Amino acid sequence: MDDLELIFTMLGEASTTKIAKSKDVQGLEENKIAAKQGGEVAGNARRELEEKIGESLVSDENFLDIPEKLKRRKKKLIEQAGIV
């Protein structure tokens, strides 16, 4: 995930939160609707930018470097195994 993918993900999350709070949603079903609407906001913005630049923003990259991912995974496995 690169920086723009992360930004659009954050836009979807923030939009969802704002929609949910402004409509005072309650329960799973209403929150699903707010999440769908928030995702649409971010998706529309992403597609509009892609149209303007003429290329896709979706990448195969991971935001974390592979060595950092491996360190975190190793640390998690050690913690799960109870090794200090």
Q: What is the pLDDT of residues 31-48, one digit of tens each?
A: 999 999 999 999 999 999
Domain edges within the chain: 3-81
> With bands split at pLDDT 50, 70 and 90, how would you rate the model's confidence at 81?
confident
pTM for this predicted structure:
0.69
CA–CA dist 28, 35 (Å, integer): 10
- What pLDDT score was predicted for residue 69? 74
Please say whether the dihedral angle defined by the alpha carbons of residues 70, 76, 77 and 83, taken in this order, is positive or negative.
positive
